[in-house]
Structure 1
Amino acid sequence: MDYLERHGIDYLYHMTYIDNLASIIHNGLLSHNEAYRQGLIEADISDPNVQDIRANTVDPCYDRPLHDYVPLYFSPRNPMLYRRREIQEDIVILGLDPRLLSEPNIIFTDGNAAASETIFYTDISMLERLPWNSIRARRWTDIEDGRRIKCAEVLVHPRIEPSRIQVVFCYSDKHRETIITAKQGTLIIGRVNRDVYF
Structure 2
Amino acid sequence: MTPEDLQEYGMDYLYHMTHINNLASIIRFGLLSHNAAHRLNVIQSDISDPDVQDIRAGLVVPFYNRPLHDYVPLYFDPRNPMLYKRREMQEDIVILGLDPNLLFEPNILITDGNAAARETSFYKRPNALNRLPWDSIRSRSWHNIEDGRRIKCAEVLFYDKIKPNKIQFVFCYSQRHREAIITARQGTPILGKVRKDLYF
Q: TM-score, normalised by structure 2?
A: 0.98
Q: Which runs of 5+ in 1 are unaligned?
A: none
Contact 2:110 2:128 in 1 (8 A): no
The secondary structure found in structure 2 opposite 1:111 is: coil
Distance 2:75 2:69 in 1: 15
Partner of 1:98: 100
> What whole-Å deviation, never above 9, does each CA across 1:153-189 have from its counterpart, x for those lacking one?
0000010000000000000000000000001311101
2:159 to 157, 160, 164: 157
Deviates further, 44-53 or 57-66: 57-66
Partner of 2:188: 186
Partner of 2:136: 134
Partner of 2:50: 48
Partner of 1:21: 23
Distance 1:120 1:99 in 2: 19
User: Which residue type is aligned with residue 54 of structure 1?
Assistant: R
Report the CA distance between 1:108 and its aligned residue.
0.7
Partner of 1:38: 40
Distance 2:115 2:187 in 1: 35
CA RMSD of aligned residues (A): 0.6
What number of residue pairs does the alignment pair up?
A: 198
> What whole-Å deviation, never above 9, does each CA across 1:57-88 have from its counterpart, x for those lacking one?
11112111110000000000000000000000
Contact 1:89 1:171 in 2 (8 A): yes
| Structure 1 consecutive aligned stretches of length 4 or more whose deviation exceeds 4 Å | none
Partner of 2:82: 80
Distance 2:63 2:5 in 1: 21
Distance 2:110 2:5 in 1: 14
Report the CA distance between 1:192 and its aligned residue.
0.2
Distance 1:83 1:30 in 2: 23
Distance 2:114 2:147 in 1: 11
Distance 2:50 2:93 in 1: 17
Contact 1:14 1:76 in 2 (8 A): yes
Partner of 1:69: 71
Contact 1:3 1:127 in 2 (8 A): no
